[in-house]
Structure 1
Amino acid sequence: MWKEQLKFYDGLIDQCPNFECKGKKMIYTSANGYMFSLLNKVGEIGIRLPKTIGQQFMKDYNTGPYKSYGAVMKDYVLIPSNLYTNTKLLIDCLNESYTYVMTLPTK
């Protein structure tokens, strides 16, 4: 399961020219000193979004906050598996997340 999810996640990231996957066991994307997407150990994808956009995303797609290693990740939303067929939406969310972290103060 995890390897299939990693392949799917990598495929999404490959379609985003501004960033790439990082990490070996904890797979993530980051920019400007901030992580903004993550594949957890159970194969769930989380994307960091601005608070209001994240709240609307959770409402629109009937999902909740993202957890990694049992902890809720602040400003991350869980990408439900029923959205995996909508790669355009997921790529748009990843790019929006990248744009968001680029507006934050550099770490």
Structure 2
Amino acid sequence: MREDVLKIYDKVVEANPNFIRKGKTMPYTSANGYMFSLLNKDGEFGIRLSKEDTLEFDNAYGAKPLKSHGAIMREYVLIPKSLLTDEETLGKYLQKGHEYVMSLPPK
């Protein structure tokens, strides 16, 4: 299962020239000193979103928190399995995650 989600994750990240996949065992994207997406060891894909985008995501898909290493990842939404096949929507939310971290003070 994790390998299937990894293929989807890589495809969505590669589709946007602004994103660079980092991490060998724990893939992630970052900008401005902040991570904005990751694939955890359980094969769960999460995107960091602003409060407004989290509300939009919750209304459309039901926002569940992402856990990694047993801890809840603050500001991240867990991408539901039903959305993994919709690369266009995933790309849209990944872009929103990128825009959100770019709006934060640089680290």
Same fold (TM over 0.5): yes
- The answer to whether the 8 A contact 2:6-2:39 is kept is yes
The 5 A counterparts of 1:92-103 are 92-103=92-103
Q: Which runs of 5+ in 2 are unaligned?
A: none
Structure 1 CA distance, aligned partners of 2:31 and 2:64?
24
Amino acid at match of 1:53: D
Query: Quick one: percent identity of the two aligned structures?
Result: 52
Q: Which residue of structure 1 lines up, in the alignment, with residue 78 of structure 2?
A: 78
Amino acid at match of 2:62: N
- The answer to whether the 8 A contact 2:26-2:41 is kept is yes
- The answer to whether the 8 A contact 2:53-2:96 is kept is no
TM-score by length of 1: 0.94
TM-score by length of 2: 0.94
What is the RMSD computed on CA atoms of the aligned residues? 1.1
Q: Which residue of structure 2 lines up, in the alignment, with residue 88 of structure 1?
A: 88
The answer on 1:54 being equivalent to 2:57 is no
Structure 1 CA distance, aligned partners of 2:105 and 2:15?
26
The 5 A counterparts of 1:9-88 are 9-88=9-88
- Say how many residue pairs are matched: 107
